[in-house]
């Protein structure tokens, strides 16, 4: 019952945050200098054209009227019409979201694999040069943000060793049979491994850039909690019972040490999704973030709003899932 | 045990020294950029476009690190880029530290409704993805260095606020604060004369980290062309220009990238080093 009430409280705070975000974004964007209508029309358009188009997009009403119209639309799933692309915002945003989600999830998987492997190696060879090497790698991984890792990967693999693609989501020459935007999942589902491989070769560089800082965080925390667990009595006991060091680390220490890392991964995953904005730009990856930057450059107010709201919604959902998973995994909270 | 502590101290020392030396060199170059630059960073020479750096064949000794596609000297642009990067880092870093620490101190020391309001504000702030937030703010404020600095302050004050608030709360619970209260010192006096000096080391360490972040933010925004004019010699702008001609002239991308990498790494290592140095447990 306590758990249920905690979830309800979370849901209430979530909706307050979301509405707050919507209000802030709507009003902040309206302060933007620069007229989006003027940018749409060819040079030499008459005053009448400007006035007609302004009225068409509802920009001639007061800011509060605009907010009312926009909010009532949002509750019906209508986020307005993009000014620069001249299409409804919602289908545009939803069309790009899967690309970003696939990239983020792939990056998360890479981060967990690299971070986990580093932490286990560091603990297996603790108090040796190997552990120092892991510590140094963690330090560098943490200090350098994904933007710089992306550029370094572009130089290394785009120029010196051109194995992976550094631009786009899929080779433009390929014919796409897809009906959904989840290309990676759908290509697996259709058993089109050629397409799947091409997608992965495009995704690998941006995903790795996003993954490196997170891998360092995971490795650092997991190694620390593993080392603390290794000093506990039950671990010593299983060692005296003759189990190998590998068995002790993997089967005895790891299950108890992994919980704090799981919570951290959840929080950090939202930062990773935020990072996709600039990473997609760097790799010309056709995702939501790339669209967001274009929207800002074109001063496309309805599109910016739609994207920010979708991002905020995504973040709150992830936070909720993390909280619930934590409550389910932690016996102290489960039985509370 | 003693040996272990000694080696940790040595490692910390080397880290502080190395990063400090690099930052010192870059700061000096930034300060004297107009004097040490061999060329005008904006001067174009279309007949000398994409010259390679000095050790490669076809290079021109006048352009030590080569030229970009418009024939502008990479080395001079790097120096002037340092000037822009370090100015943003210093101004944005200090201002962010000031705003965030002030709110953090108030929240952590006053508690009550002040704390509730400030903490709730921090929560809402953190719901926005920073890069998206930055781009949004630049769209509102217009491009330019002032906008970048304001954007950094508006986004990153929470970083200081959270840490300083926790630290101020810790300090408030200490005996020396209790005895100052008993001695009848006014609250404002306790906050500025007792708590602030003890929180200051944390603020300084955070400030160094923040300067590294400011350098990156400036680079990202000039990369997506939302900083000052595209001509201006910013590291991010140089990287963007290099990204388009990466297969013809890798050095246009590689040099600013290398400098940016080392600078960001140094700011972060210097900050982390200071944090450990100030930490009474490690000391």
In tens digits, chain A (336 residues) has pLDDT values of 667 787 787 778 777 777 777 777 777 766 655 566 666 666 667 777 777 777 777 777 777 887 888 778 777 777 778 878 888 888 899 889 999 999 999 999 999 999 999 999 998 888 888 888 898 899 888 888 888 999 888 888 877 777 777 778 877 777 777 777 788 778 877 778 788 888 888 889 999 999 999 999 999 999 998 888 888 888 888 888 888 888 888 888 888 888 888 878 887 888 888 889 889 988 888 899 889 888 877 878 788 888 888 888 888 788 788 777 777 776 666 655
Return d(Cα B113, Cα B126) in angstroms, integer: 20
B14 touches chain A (CB under 8 A): no
Report whether A107 contacts A228 (CB < 8 A). no
Residue A257 lies in a domain: yes
CB < 8 Å to A311, chain B? 128-129, 132
Q: How many domains does chain A have?
A: 2
Indicate yes or no: CB of A152 within 8 angstroms of CB of B257: yes
Task: List C-alpha distances in Å: B270 to A41, A213, B17, B162.
Answer: 51, 18, 8, 21
CB < 8 Å to B124, chain A? 17, 20-21, 24
Q: Tell me which residue range forms the domain holding B196.
A: 14-53+62-278
CB < 8 Å to B219, chain A? 147
Residue A173 lies in a domain: yes
B48 touches chain A (CB under 8 A): no
| pLDDT given for residue B160 in this prediction | 92
CB < 8 Å to A282, chain B? 223, 243
Phi, psi angle pair for B94, to nearest 5°: -60, -45
Given A75, A106, A122, which residue is the final one in a domain?
A: A75
A118 and A174 both lie in a single domain: yes
Residue B1 lies in a domain: no
Cα four-point dihedral sign B142, B145, B150, B156: positive
Q: What angle do CA B48, B50, B53 make, to 5 degrees?
A: 100
Q: Tell me which residue range forms the domain holding A198.
A: 96-334
B116 touches chain A (CB under 8 A): no
- Say which of B132, B220, B265 has its CB closest to residue A292: B132
Share of chain B above pLDDT 90, in %: 25
Residues 6+ apart with CB under 8 A from A241: none
Report whether A153 contacts A208 (CB < 8 A). yes
A212 and A305 both lie in a single domain: yes
Return d(Cα A238, Cα A246) in angstroms, integer: 12
List the beta bridge partners of residue B73. B67
Residues 6+ apart with CB under 8 A from A322: A263, A266, A267, A269
Q: What is the mean pLDDT of chain B?
A: 84
Residue A31 lies in a domain: yes
Q: What is the pTM of this model?
A: 0.82
Indicate yes or no: CB of B135 within 8 angstroms of CB of A292: yes
B117 touches chain A (CB under 8 A): no
A204 and A291 both lie in a single domain: yes
Q: Does the pLDDT at position B277 exceed 70?
A: yes
Residue A53 lies in a domain: yes
Residue A90 lies in a domain: no
A100 and A66 both lie in a single domain: no
Residue A105 token pair? 């999830």
| pLDDT given for residue B5 in this prediction | 46
Return d(Cα B121, Cα A135) in angstroms, integer: 35
CB < 8 Å to A158, chain B? 246-247
A176 and A268 both lie in a single domain: yes
Residue B3 lies in a domain: no
Indicate yes or no: CB of B131 within 8 angstroms of CB of A275: yes
Given A75, A110, A129, which residue is the final one in a domain?
A: A75
A23 and A112 both lie in a single domain: no
A12 and A114 both lie in a single domain: no
Q: Which CATH number do you get for residue B91?
A: 1.10.3720.10
pLDDT band at B20 (very low <50, low <70, confident <90, very high): very high
Residue B264 lies in a domain: yes
Residues 6+ apart with CB under 8 A from A49: A41
**Which has the closest alpha carbon to B270: B216, B204, B199?**
B204
A323 and A234 both lie in a single domain: yes
Q: How many domains does chain B have?
A: 1
Specify burial of residue A244 (Cβ count, 10 A radius: 0-12, 13-18, 19+): exposed
Q: Which CATH number do you get for residue A187?
A: 1.10.3720.10
Q: What is the mean pLDDT of chain A?
A: 82
Residue A211 lies in a domain: yes
A317 and A203 both lie in a single domain: yes
Residue B9 lies in a domain: no
Return d(Cα B35, Cα A99) in angstroms, integer: 49
Q: What angle do CA B165, B170, B176 make, to 5 degrees?
A: 125
Given A75, A110, A134, which residue is the final one in a domain?
A: A75
- Say which of A139, A140, A158 has its CB closest to residue B246: A158
Alpha-helical (H) ranges within A190-253 are 193-230, 233-240, 245-247
Residue A86 lies in a domain: no
Indicate yes or no: CB of B226 within 8 angstroms of CB of A296: yes
A38 and A153 both lie in a single domain: no
Return d(Cα A229, Cα B108) in angstroms, integer: 33
Distance (Å) from the alpha carbon of A191 to chain B's nearest alpha carbon = 35
The predicted complex's ipTM stands at: 0.79
The residue that leads in pLDDT, B95 or B117, is B95
Of the listed ranges A15-19, A218-222, B149-153, B158-162, the least confidently predicted one is: A15-19
A210 and A294 both lie in a single domain: yes
Q: How many CA atoms lie within 13 A of A83 on its CB side?
A: 25
CB < 8 Å to B264, chain A? 143-145, 148
A182 and A51 both lie in a single domain: no
Indicate yes or no: CB of B127 within 8 angstroms of CB of A299: no
Residue B5 lies in a domain: no
């Amino acid at each position: 019952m306590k758990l249920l009430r905690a979830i309800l409280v979370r849901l209430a705070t979530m909706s307050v945050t979301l509405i707050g975000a919507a209000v802030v974004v709507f009003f902040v964007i309206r302060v933007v200098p620069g007229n989006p209508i003027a940018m749409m029309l060819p040079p030499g358009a008459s005053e009448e054209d400007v006035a007609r188009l302004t009225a068409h997009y509802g920009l001639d009403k007061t800011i509060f009227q605009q907010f009312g119209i926009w909010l009532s639309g949002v509750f019906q799933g209508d986020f307005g019409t993009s000014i620069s692309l001249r299409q409804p915002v919602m289908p545009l945003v939803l069309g790009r979201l899967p690309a970003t989600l696939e990239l983020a999830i792939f990056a998360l998987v890479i981060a967990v694999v690299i971070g986990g492997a580093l932490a286990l190696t560091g603990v297996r060879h603790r108090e040796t040069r190997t552990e120092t090497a892991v510590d140094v790698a963690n330090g560098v991984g943490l200090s350098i943000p994904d933007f710089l890792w992306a550029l370094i990967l572009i130089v290394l693999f785009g120029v010196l060793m051109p194995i992976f693609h550094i631009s786009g989501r899929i080779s433009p020459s390929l014919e796409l049979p897809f009906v959904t935007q989840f290309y990676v999942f759908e290509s697996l589902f259709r058993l089109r491994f050629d397409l799947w491989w091409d997608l992965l070769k495009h995704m690998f560089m941006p995903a790795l850039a996003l993954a490196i800082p997170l891998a360092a965080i995971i490795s650092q925390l997991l190694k620390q909690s593993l080392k603390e667990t290794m000093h506990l009595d039950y671990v010593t006991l299983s060692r005296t019972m003759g189990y190998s060091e590998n068995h002790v680390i993997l089967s005895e220490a790891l299950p108890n040490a992994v919980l704090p890392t799981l919570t951290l991964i959840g929080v950090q995953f939202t930062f990773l999704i935020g990072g996709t904005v600039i990473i997609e730009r760097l790799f010309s990856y056709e995702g939501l973030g790339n669209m967001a930057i274009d929207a800002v450059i074109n001063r496309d107010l309805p599109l910016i709003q739609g994207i920010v709201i979708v991002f905020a919604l995504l973040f709150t959902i992830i936070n909720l899932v993390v909280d619930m998973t934590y409550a389910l995994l932690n016996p102290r909270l489960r039985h509370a | 045990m003693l040996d272990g502590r000694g080696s940790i101290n040595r490692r910390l020392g080397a880290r502080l020294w190395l990063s400090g030396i690099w930052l010192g060199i870059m700061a000096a170059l930034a300060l004297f950029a107009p004097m040490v630059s061999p060329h005008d960073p904006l001067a174009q020479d279309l007949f000398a476009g994409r010259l390679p750096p000095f050790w490669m064949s076809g290079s021109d000794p006048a352009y030590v690190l080569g030229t970009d596609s418009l024939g502008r000297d990479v080395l001079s642009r790097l120096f002037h880029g340092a000037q822009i990067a370090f100015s943003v880092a210093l101004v944005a870093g200090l201002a962010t530290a000031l705003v965030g620490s002030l709110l953090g101190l108030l929240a952590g020391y006053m508690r009550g409704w002040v704390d509730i309001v400030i903490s709730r504000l921090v929560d809402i702030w953190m719901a926005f993805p920073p890069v998206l937030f930055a781009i949004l703010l630049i769209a509102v404020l217009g491009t330019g260095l002032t906008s970048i600095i304001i954007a950094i302050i508006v986004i990153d004050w929470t970083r200081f606020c959270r840490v300083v608030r926790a630290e101020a709360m810790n300090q408030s619970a200490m005996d020396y604060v209790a005895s100052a209260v008993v001695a009848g010192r006014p609250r404002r006096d306790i906050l500025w004369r007792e708590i602030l000096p003890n929180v200051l080391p944390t603020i300084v360490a955070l400030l160094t980290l923040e300067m590294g972040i400011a350098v990156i933010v400036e680079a990202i925004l000039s990369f997506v062309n939302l900083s000052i004019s595209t001509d201006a010699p910013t590291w991010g702008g140089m990287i963007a220009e290099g990204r388009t001609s990466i297969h013809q002239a890798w050095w246009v991308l590689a040099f600013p990238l290398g400098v940016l990498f080392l600078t960001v790494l140094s700011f972060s290592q210097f900050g982390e080093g200071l944090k450990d140095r100030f930490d009474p447990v490690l000391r």
